[in-house]
């Protein structure tokens, strides 16, 4: 007889993974590993931008990533920083998106009563919600707000990864471009 985890067990597992990832992110920032990673790239703007972009997505690493991206853009090409930083951010967002879409969404829905579940599904399928969701998610992802919110919003709606990845790349690249332009203007 095999053990089949219940939705509640899977939800607690997801919460544990999220807590562990937050803990790791905090330790990366506190220990200075993020700065050493960027400094250890030998000044290669592409690698620095990609790594800083990966950290641009998390609530706990956004601030140091903004500082790193601003510094990189101030000393190099703002467009290259935005492009490769956007790629790094999109890669991290894809991981967040899959976590939310595949497990957290199902687990939350399974814990709701049938009436609430039906109501939530109805809201997610409304035309206004479908038009408004990508706009709100783009604003969240492009801003310094944590991308987890935008990725979760897109994951809850059932968006497909082939739509989300370019969407995330463009939104993050625009956000990083703005950061780079501000950093260059301040540095001038």
pLDDT tens per residue across span 21-67: 667 666 766 776 656 666 655 568 898 899 889 988 877 677 778 88
In a domain? residue 143: yes
Count of domains in the chain? Answer: 1
Closest CA to 82 of 45, 115, 111: 45
Phi, psi at residue 100, to the nearest 5°? -70, -45
- Give the structural domain span for 130: 7-187
In a domain? residue 2: no
**pLDDT over threshold 90, residue 90:** yes
In a domain? residue 79: yes
- DSSP class per residue in 104-173: IHHHHHHHS-HHHHHHHHHHHTSHHHHHHHHHHHHHHHHSSS-HHHHHHHHHHHT--HHHHHHHHHHHHH
In a domain? residue 107: yes
Tell me what pLDDT residue 187 has: 73
In a domain? residue 1: no
**What sign has the CA pseudo-torsion 153, 158, 161, 164?**
negative
């Amino acid at each position: 007889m095999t053990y089949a985890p219940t939705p509640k067990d899977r939800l607690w597992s997801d919460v544990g993974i999220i807590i562990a990832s937050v803990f790791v992110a905090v330790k990366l920032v506190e220990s200075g590993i993020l700065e050493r990673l960027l400094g250890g790239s030998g000044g290669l703007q592409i690698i620095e931008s990609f790594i800083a972009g990966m950290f641009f997505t998390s609530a706990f690493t956004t601030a140091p990533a903004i500082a790193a991206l601003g510094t990189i853009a101030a000393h190099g090409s703002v467009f290259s920083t935005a492009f490769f930083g956007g790629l790094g951010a999109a890669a991290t967002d894809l991981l967040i998106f899959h976590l939310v879409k595949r497990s957290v969404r199902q687990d939350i829905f399974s814990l709701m009563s049938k009436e609430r579940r039906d109501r939530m599904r109805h809201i997610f399928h409304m035309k206004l919600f479908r038009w408004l969701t990508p706009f709100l998610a783009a604003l969240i992802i492009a801003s310094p707000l944590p991308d987890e919110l935008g990725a979760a919003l897109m994951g809850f709606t059932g968006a497909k990864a082939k739509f989300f990845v370019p969407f995330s790349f463009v939104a993050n690249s625009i956000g990083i471009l703005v950061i780079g332009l501000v950093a260059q203007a301040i540095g001038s």
